[in-house]
C-alpha cells in the first residue's frame, strides 16, 4: 500500500516562488540500516521510490477515469515529523507491516528531521490533479490519499472558484531595488473570506512540516496565500504571452503589462515607479482589504442554570476572530473601549 502525501513548499517572497512537493509512504518493511557512519539526517524509511509514485498515479488515472501525466523532477525535502528514536510515526492511513514495537504511545514521540524524496510537480498538472480528488480521497487496497493532499485539494477548488469569478488584481512588490509585478487574488467578499479562514483553521500540521511553518515567521494565512498567488501567476502567464502585447514600446502601461505577463522585473525610473505606486494604490483602495475584516459577530445561547423551573435562557454577543474561532471577545468589552482599535490576546479588533 502507498499513502500519497504532498504540500506546498515556499521558496521566496516573489509571486512565483514555491513548488508543490509530492511523495508517498509505503507499507513495505524499511530496509535494514547499512553499517558505517549514518548520515546527519536519515532518509525517511517508509518513502516510496519514483517508480512506485508514478505507478500510483497510473492507478489513480484508472480509478477516476482521467489522464494525468506527471512530469515532476525528483527532489529531496526535509520534514520535521513526530518520531521514535528509530523511525517516524506512520500516518494513520498506512498499514504498517514492520515491527509493532516501533509504534509507541503518541505522548512519547519527539520531533525529528527526515530526508524525504519525492517529486516537484509542474503547475500545469498540479491544480487539475488536486481538484480531481474528492473529500473522501481514494480508498483502494493499494492507494490512499493522505490528509494533507485532501486539504490541498480543498484549497485548489477555492482557487479555481476565485479564478473563474475573476477575483484577482495586479500588484507589485519591491525586491533588491527592483520592481516585480504580479497578480494577487482579492478576497473582498465576506463569503470568500469565510472560506479562507475555514481552510486556515482546518490545516493539518503536516502541511507545514517541511519548514516548521509559523516558527519561521510564516503564518498559516500567508502560507495559503503564497500557494494561491503563486499558482495564479503561473496560470495567467501560461495562458497569455507578453509577445501578444501591442502598443508603444516606451509606454509605461505597456511595460507594466509586459512585466505582469512575463514575470520579469519592471524597468522604470524613480518617477515612473512613483506613478505606478500611486496609481495602483488609488485603484486598490476602492476595494475592501481582506485584512480589515478579521472578525465577525456571533452569539452564544446558554441554557438555564440550576432548577429546571427556571426558563430564563441567556443570549451573549461576541466578536469572533476568523483565524481562531475559539477567540471570543465579549460585546460588553467592545462598548467600553474608547479607542477605534481594540487589542485582545494579540488580536486587533
Domain ranges for the chain, please list them: 2-164, 168-290, 294-348
Closest CA to 331 of 298, 292, 290: 298
8 Å CB contact between 342 and 335: no
In the prediction, which pLDDT does 77 show? 92
> 347-348 and 343-344: which strand pairing?
antiparallel
Lowest pLDDT segment from 124-128, 185-189, 263-267, 283-287 = 283-287
- Residue in the block written with cell 502585447: 245
- Residue in the block written with cell 494577487: 184
The mean of the pLDDT values for the chain is 80
Residue 80: CA count within 13 A, CB half-sphere: 10
In the prediction, which pLDDT does 207 show? 93
Angle, nearest 10°, between helix axes 147-164 and 190-201? Answer: 170
**DSSP category for residue 243:** G
Confidence band for 21, pLDDT divided at 50, 70 and 90 = very high
C-alpha distance across the termini of the chain, in Å: 48
Lowest pLDDT segment from 10-14, 171-175, 283-287, 316-320 = 10-14
Residue 314 has pLDDT above 50, yes or no: yes
Structural Rg of the chain based on CA atoms: 24
Query: What pLDDT, in 10s, does the model give residues 63-96?
Result: 766 666 677 788 899 999 988 888 888 887 665 5
Whether the CA torsion 97, 98, 99, 102 is positive or negative: it is: negative
Taking residues 210-233, what's their average pLDDT? 83
In degrees and rounded to multiples of 5, residue 99 shows phi and psi of: -75, 120
In the prediction, which pLDDT does 105 show? 66
Residue 243: CA count within 13 A, CB half-sphere: 3
In degrees and rounded to multiples of 5, residue 120 shows phi and psi of: -90, 115
In the prediction, which pLDDT does 279 show? 83
Query: How much of the chain, in percent, has pLDDT values that exceed 70?
Result: 76
pLDDT greater at residue 233 or residue 103: 233
In degrees and rounded to multiples of 5, residue 145 shows phi and psi of: -100, 125
Q: Could you give the CA distance from residue 77 to residue 91 in angstroms, rounded to a whole number?
A: 18
Taking residues 185-208, what's their average pLDDT? 90
In the prediction, which pLDDT does 290 show? 47
Closest CA to 80 of 131, 52, 114, 104: 114
Q: Per-residue DSSP letters for 35-77?
A: SSPPPSSPBPTTB--HHHHHHHHHHHHHHHT------PEEEEE
Name the pTM for this structure: 0.77
b (16+ CB within 10 A) / e for 37-65: eeeeebebbbbbeeeebebbbeebeeeee
Residue 227 has pLDDT above 90, yes or no: yes
Taking residues 167-171, what's their average pLDDT? 89
Closest CA to 296 of 199, 221, 219, 194: 194
Q: Could you give the CA distance from residue 271 to residue 282 in angstroms, rounded to a whole number?
A: 17
Confidence band for 114, pLDDT divided at 50, 70 and 90 = very high
Query: What pLDDT, in 10s, does the model give residues 116-168?
Result: 999 988 777 788 889 888 877 666 678 888 999 999 999 999 999 999 999 99
Q: Could you give the CA distance from residue 170 to residue 255 in angstroms, rounded to a whole number?
A: 13
- Residue in the block written with cell 492507494: 143
In the prediction, which pLDDT does 8 show? 94
Amino acid at each position: 500500500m502507498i499513502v500519497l502525501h504532498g504540500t506546498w513548499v515556499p521558496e521566496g517572497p516573489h509571486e512565483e516562488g514555491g513548488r508543490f512537493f509530492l511523495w508517498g509512504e509505503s507499507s513495505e518493511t524499511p530496509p535494514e540500516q547499512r553499517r558505517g557512519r549514518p548520515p546527519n539526517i536519515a532518509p525517511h524509511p517508509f518513502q516510496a521510490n519514483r517508480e512506485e509514485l508514478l505507478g500510483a498515479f497510473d492507478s489513480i488515472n484508472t480509478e477516476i477515469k482521467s489522464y494525468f501525466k506527471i512530469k515532476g523532477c525528483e527532489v529531496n525535502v526535509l520534514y520535521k515529523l513526530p518520531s521514535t528514536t528509530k523511525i517516524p510515526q506512520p500516518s494513520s492511513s498506512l498499514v504498517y507491516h514492520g515491527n509493532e514495537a516501533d509504534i509507541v504511545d503518541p505522548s512519547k514521540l519527539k520531533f525529528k528531521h527526515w530526508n524525504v524524496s519525492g517529486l516537484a510537480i509542474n503547475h500545469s498538472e498540479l491544480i487539475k490533479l488536486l481538484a480531481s480528488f474528492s473529500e473522501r480521497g481514494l480508498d483502494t487496497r493499494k492507494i490512499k490519499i493522505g490528509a494533507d493532499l485532501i486539504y490541498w485539494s480543498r484549497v485548489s477548488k477555492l482557487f479555481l472558484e476565485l479564478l473563474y469569478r475573476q477575483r484577482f488584481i495586479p500588484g507589485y512588490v519591491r525586491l533588491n531595488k527592483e520592481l516585480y509585478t504580479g497578480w494577487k487574488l482579492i478576497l473582498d467578499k465576506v463569503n470568500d473570506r469565510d472560506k479562507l479562514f475555514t481552510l486556515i483553521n482546518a490545516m493539518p500540521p503536516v502541511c507545514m512540516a517541511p519548514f516548521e511553518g509559523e516558527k519561521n515567521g510564516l503564518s498559516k494565512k500567508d502560507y495559503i496565500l503564497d500557494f494561491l498567488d503563486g499558482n495564479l501567476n503561473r496560470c495567467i502567464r501560461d495562458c497569455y504571452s507578453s509577445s501578444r502585447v501591442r502598443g508603444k514600446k516606451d509606454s509605461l502601461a505597456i511595460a507594466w503589462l509586459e512585466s505582469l505577463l512575463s514575470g520579469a522585473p519592471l524597468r522604470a525610473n524613480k518617477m515612473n515607479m512613483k506613478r505606478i505606486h500611486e496609481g495602483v494604490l488609488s485603484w486598490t483602495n476602492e476595494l475592501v482589504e481582506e485584512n480589515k475584516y478579521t472578525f465577525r459577530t456571533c452569539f452564544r445561547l446558554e441554557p438555564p442554570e440550576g432548577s429546571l423551573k427556571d426558563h430564563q435562557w441567556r443570549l451573549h454577543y461576541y466578536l469572533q476572530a476568523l483565524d481562531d474561532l475559539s477567540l471570543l471577545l465579549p460585546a460588553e468589552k467592545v462598548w467600553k473601549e474608547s479607542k477605534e482599535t481594540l487589542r485582545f490576546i494579540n488580536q486587533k479588533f
